Amino acid sequence: MKTKLYLASLVLAMPVFAGSPAREAVAPAPQSSLWSWFIGGSVGYLADAQEVMYNGHIGVNTPWTVGGWNVALFGEVGYSDIKDSYVNGFYVDTKTEIVPITFNVKFERPIMDKLSVYVGAGLGAAVVDVSASSSVLIGNYSHNSTVFTSQIFAGLDYKFCPSFDMYAGARWIYLNDVKIANTNYNFNNNDCLFEVGARITF
């Protein structure tokens, strides 16, 4: 009798077990990388030299934050061709090509939905090629040197979408002295650059 009751209980319980679907193992959603690479460039105007300067950079957005500021690291190469003249009892035409190469750190913080403010600094070296001509004293002269350079920068960044943004800002650029031999001429070794640029993030 007990065996029959036990079998009857199993038969009655079968619909209950049948109606409880087996739980499937759910794989965790893949997490996006906390590091994202970017490339970009800018064009700007040197206030003192009154010439155009171009810059291109490649870098990475890191997962690090400092006081609520997101940290990015990037390398940058610039170019400017500066024409100048020097008069001190004689006239010297000069042409200076500058190629600064710097490693930079940038701190960025959102201030509105798509608008952020950024500040940063960089250190590196600049290849400076100076050529000068004067019919009075030095004739034709050219000099190539590599000097220390540094910069600080700040501005605003607007993200049109996660993969594209544009920015506008200013930077102060310093280079070690570049002197033309036999003259009192020194290349203007610091300047303020006003620039606009764009960046693509991968």
pLDDT tens track for 52-67: 999 999 999 999 999 9
Cα distances (Å, whole numbers) of residue 28 to 35, 43, 63, 111: 20, 44, 21, 33
104-136 pLDDT, tens digit per residue, is 999 999 999 999 999 999 999 999 998 877 766
For residue 64, the number of C-alpha atoms closer than 13 Å in the C-beta half-sphere is: 9
For the beta carbon of residue 48, count every other beta carbon within 10 angstroms: 11
Averaged confidence pLDDT in the chain: 83
Q: What is the pLDDT of residue 16?
A: 47
CA nearest to 103, candidates 122, 119, 120, 121: 122
Asked if 59 and 91 touch (Cβ cutoff 8 Å), the reply is: no
- The pLDDT, as a whole number, for residue 132 is 79
3-class DSSP state for residue 3?
helix
The CATH architecture that domain 36-201 belongs to is Beta Barrel (2.40)
Mean pLDDT of all residues in 189-198: 94
Question: Mean pLDDT throughout 152-175?
Answer: 97
Task: Provide the residue ranges of all domains of the chain, joining segments of one domain with +.
Answer: 36-201
Q: What is the pLDDT of residue 83?
A: 85
Token output for 125: 């070296």
Q: Which residue has the higher pLDDT, 19 or 131?
A: 131
Helix (H) or strand (E) holding 16: helix 2-18
CA distance 170 to 192: 7
Whether residue 142 has pLDDT greater than 90: no
Report pLDDT for 187.
Answer: 64
Q: Report pLDDT for 177.
A: 79
- What pLDDT does residue 131 have? 84
On whether the CB atoms of residues 128 and 175 are closer than 8 A, the answer is: yes
pLDDT tens sequence across 76-103: 999 999 887 765 656 778 888 999 999 9
